[in-house]
Amino acid sequence: MNDLEIEKRIEGHIESRKTYWTGLYLLSAGLATVSFSIDSLIKIVFFIIGIFLLLFLITIIYNINTDLEDFYKKLKEIK
């Protein structure tokens, strides 16, 4: 990989991370709202599904950060 390819991949990963952070923020706000009024089975189901989605988003963001660190190391080695 050359410099430009690595820089484009870094930019793509950063944009993806921004999108996932936005989703994480919105999902957290939704879960907080649902947690204040858990009074039916459907809300409990949505809350549990939301928790799993929250953990999934956190894992994705962590993996993107790990990939970004690797790309920055490769870019540093090239330059």
Question: Looking up tokens 């923020």, which residue turns up?
Answer: 25
Task: Please give the Cα distance from 62 to 16 (Å, whole number).
Answer: 12
Alpha carbon 73 to chain centroid, angstroms: 21
| Orientation of helix 3-35 relative to helix 41-78, angle to 10° | 160
Give the number of domains in the chain. Answer: 1
Domain that residue 35 falls in? 3-78
pLDDT tens digits, one per residue of 8-65: 999 999 999 999 999 999 999 999 999 998 899 999 999 999 999 999 999 999 999 9
CA 7, CA 57: separation in Å to the nearest integer? 24
pLDDT of amino acid 2: 82
